Amino acid sequence: MKLTFEGITVVKSIAYKYVIAVVRVVVAVLIVVAIVAQLERSVVNWRNTGLSVSFGITNFFSFFTIESNVATVVVLLIGAIYAFSKRNDPHWYTVFRVIVVTYMGVTGVVYNLLLRGVELPQGTTVAWSNEVLHVVACAYLVLDWFIAPGRTPLTWRTLRAIVIFPIVWAIYTLVRAPFTVNDNHGKAWYPYPFLNPALANEGYFSVAFYVVLIAGVVCAVGAGAIWVSRRKPVVTA
């Protein structure tokens, strides 16, 4: 049987999709392990310091980083299924994917620019887990957006879907904080120091500045991701 160049191309395309699928599964598993490792360390610290575990778990899953990484696991596993099936991604998945890609891109930017140098109590953070959730996962998901097959072009209206969750999350965080009291210190709990008006020089004005700044970053990263999808769609023939 004669193997044509077209046949070789198809075989290579299928093999490439399988590689992408496997890498997606591996990264998803790594993220899950990183989240579990950090959660286990946090639970130990909460118990040692007398902090309510239920309070701590609620706070843990109120971090934008954790929520974005959980969404990344879902995106990668669904994407792996589509890659193994050798079909182009459905539109709803591409929209979901660009939303999470944007959040992870913003997570990487915000962490490395604003939070990288913030000191935390010794022993509260699992160092390798922190790097996985803030660097490795962010970098891979953005890279995946560029190189993984199956992506289809998106309209600019998709940007509206991208900004919904960050707005809801910011409102939830700022409204919830005054009603949360750290068991040890009697202070309201904020996931990030730049959202805490008590730590800002100008109080809520400084918080508003950072919220607007991050909203701008979300829009910029989201618009960039949409532009990439329109500029160079990665589809399977």
- 0.85 exceeded by the pTM? yes
Question: What's the pLDDT score for residue 139?
Answer: 97
The confidence score (pLDDT) of residue 151 equals: 85
Confidence label for 2 from pLDDT (cuts 50, 70 and 90): very low
Rounded distance between C-alpha atoms, residue 159 and residue 177, angstroms: 28
Q: Token match 């496997």: residue?
A: 22
Q: How confident is the model at residue 232 (pLDDT cuts 50, 70, 90)?
A: low
Q: Give the mean model confidence (pLDDT) for residues 104-109.
A: 95
Amino acid identity for residue 39 in this structure: L
Q: How confident is the model at residue 103 (pLDDT cuts 50, 70, 90)?
A: very high
What is the predicted pLDDT for the residue at 7?
42
Which tens digit of pLDDT belongs to each residue from 132-163? 999 999 999 999 999 998 888 999 999 999 99
Mean pLDDT of 163-182: 90
Give the tokens for residue 118. Answer: 């913030």
pLDDT in tens, 20-30: 999 999 999 99
Distance of CA 221 to the CA centre of its chain: 13
Lowest mean pLDDT among 84-88, 146-150, 224-228: 84-88
C-beta of residue 181 within 8 angstroms of C-beta of residue 236: no
